Amino acid sequence: MRVARTFCLLVVCLLVSAPALAGEMRVGDIVVEKIWARAAFRAGGSGAAYLTLRNTGSKADRVVDVSSAVAGLVQIHTHVNQSGVMVMRHVEALEIPAGGTVVLKPGSDHVMLMGLKAPLKKGTRFELSLTFDKSGTVVIPVQVQKAGARSYKATE
């Protein structure tokens, strides 16, 4: 009886943690997935984190704050064309439409990590906090991939 109860508890724990192990987190109607960053070699320098946000709800939501202990300043950035030159700009909030998906990726919207407190090394993880206007706050593990990586890879 005791072994069966322990086994059932183990199965429940694995089922509950499976989304996090698969690189997916949920807060309210928002699913955060494909969470990664590129390696960055210099403390004091900058880095970027990327992820996909899916809104499974019937109302739009917005990311209104981002933070992480790995950097002195963390912001959401976008790229805009300014007189034929692409430049990064801080945005106060990032909208996720109802039933929509927003992909933060290299060369597009991303989480900018400025004033890194230590290098971001391939194979390590760090925590990133996202606060949504309606859904609340979620702390997500960010998987650091190799420098120059162009997209999320679950096995790295």
pLDDT along the chain (156 residues), means of 10: 46 39 82 97 94 98 98 94 88 97 95 97 97 97 94 75
**Domain assignment present for 8:** no
CATH of residue 32's domain is 2.60.40.1890
**Domain assignment present for 6:** no
**How many domains, in total, are found in the chain?**
1
Q: Which residues pair with 49 in a beta bridge?
A: 37, 111
**Domain assignment present for 66:** yes
Return the biggest CA–CA distance within the chain.
72
> What is the per-residue pLDDT for 13?
39
Q: How far is CA 144 from CA 19, 54, 141, in A?
A: 18, 21, 10
Strand 46-55 to 136-145 pairing: unpaired
**Domain assignment present for 152:** no
> What is the per-residue pLDDT for 84?
87
Domain encompassing residue 72: 26-145
Query: Locate tokens 């976008």: which residue?
Result: 78
- The whole-model pTM stands at 0.83
> What is the per-residue pLDDT for 86?
85
**Domain assignment present for 4:** no
Instruction: Work out the burial of residue 76: count CB atoms within 10 Å of its CB; fewer than 13 is exposed, 13-18 middle, 19 or more buried.
Output: buried
The secondary element (H helix, E strand) that includes residue 62 is strand 61-67
> What is the per-residue pLDDT for 2?
53
Q: Report how far apart the first and last C-alpha atoms of the chain are (Å, whole number).
A: 40
**Domain assignment present for 16:** no
> What is the per-residue pLDDT for 1?
54
**Domain assignment present for 11:** no
